């Protein structure tokens, strides 16, 4: 079953990329941080003005906190996110010579960057063989019977045990599949191409 699911998703989503709009590693990292508990669509509306005023880590490291808050005020948890991205920029300048590290542990040392954010940046920017678990990946994984874990950390471990390759493709695929087909509410089962593997369909029938 797992091999079938993998091959189907790899075939359908082999060229998939994040829907966040970015031009470089700096912009990608900031976008991913802002996207936590916020839609990609909303982030894409916010970031053009942010990146126009603060186009790199050097500029952001010298930014006014109040100004950054205003620029991202329509984003969820904007107060904390504003503090985090400014502190992140300062750390990149002081600890990494102004270059954002492409190493998971070093990325996670930066403000606002956890396991999921680091993995998303590395799999998106470097095509690294990593799995990141967001709300969509978590939902899809459980509905397809790939994990029964209660949290994202253990769900990631379960997925990594099952899938040894193509994790970056599967992540992108699960995100898009969860966003547009296997929705939290009103899943589009008539468009589902892995319906036969779904353990959730019986609940829907009831």
64-118 confidence digits (pLDDT tens) = 999 999 999 999 999 999 999 999 999 999 999 999 999 999 999 999 999 999 9
- Catalytic annotation, pick one of 97, 99, 116, 157: 116
The DSSP call for residue 110 is: S
Q: Identify the H or E element spanning 60.
A: helix 57-61
Query: Other CB atoms closer than 10 Å to residue 142's CB: what's the count?
Result: 17
pLDDT band at 200 (very low <50, low <70, confident <90, very high): confident
**In terms of C-beta density within 10 A (0-12 exposed, 13-18 middle, 19 or more buried), how is residue 176 classed?**
buried
- Average pLDDT of the residues in 18-33: 98
What does the pLDDT read at residue 29?
Answer: 98
Going from N- to C-terminal start, the domains of the chain cover 2-16+131-205, 25-126
pTM of the model: 0.92
Whether 116 is catalytic:
yes
113-169 pLDDT, tens digit each: 999 999 999 999 999 999 999 999 999 999 999 999 999 999 999 999 999 999 999
DSSP assignment letter at 189: G
In whole angstroms, give the CA distance from residue 124 to residue 79.
26
pLDDT of the residue at 205: 57
Query: Exactly one of 11, 14, 90, 134 is catalytic; which is it?
Result: 134
CB 140 within 8 A of CB 178: yes
Distance (Å, rounded) from C-alpha 177 to C-alpha 36? Answer: 18
Report whether pLDDT(10) > 90. yes
pLDDT-derived band of residue 56, with 50, 70 and 90 as boundaries? very high
- 134 counts as catalytic: yes
The predicted structure's pLDDT at residue 172: 96
Residue 206, pLDDT > 60, answer no
- The CATH code for residues 25-126 is 1.10.340.30
Q: Are 93 and 61 contacting, i.e. CB atoms less than 8 angstroms apart?
A: yes
Give the architecture-level CATH label for domain 2-16+131-205. Orthogonal Bundle (1.10)
- Residue 199's pLDDT is 84
Per-residue confidence (pLDDT) for residue 125, from 0 to 100: 96
Which of 3, 7, 1 minimizes the C-alpha distance to 173? 7
């Amino acid at each position: 079953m797992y091999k079938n699911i993998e091959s189907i998703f790899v075939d359908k989503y082999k060229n998939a990329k994040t829907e966040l709009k970015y031009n470089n590693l700096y912009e990608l990292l900031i976008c991913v941080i802002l996207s936590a508990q916020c839609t990609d669509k909303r982030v894409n509306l916010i970031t053009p003005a942010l990146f126009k005023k603060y186009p790199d880590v050097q500029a952001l490291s010298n930014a006014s906190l109040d100004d950054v808050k205003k620029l991202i005020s329509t984003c969820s948890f904007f107060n904390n996110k504003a503090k985090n991205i400014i502190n992140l920029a300062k750390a990149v300048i002081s600890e990494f010579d102004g270059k954002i590290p492409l190493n998971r542990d070093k990325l996670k040392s930066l403000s606002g960057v956890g396991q999921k954010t680091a993995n998303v940046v590395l799999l998106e920017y470097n095509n690294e063989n990593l799995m990141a678990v967001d709300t969509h990946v978590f939902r899809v994984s459980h509905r397809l019977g790939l994990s029964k874990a209660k949290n994202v950390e253990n769900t990631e471990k379960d997925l990594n045990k099952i899938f040894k390759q193509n994790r970056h493709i599967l992540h992108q695929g699960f995100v898009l599949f969860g966003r547009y087909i296997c929705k939290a509410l009103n899943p589009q089962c008539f468009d589902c191409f892995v319906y036969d593997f779904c353990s959730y369909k019986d609940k829907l029938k009831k």
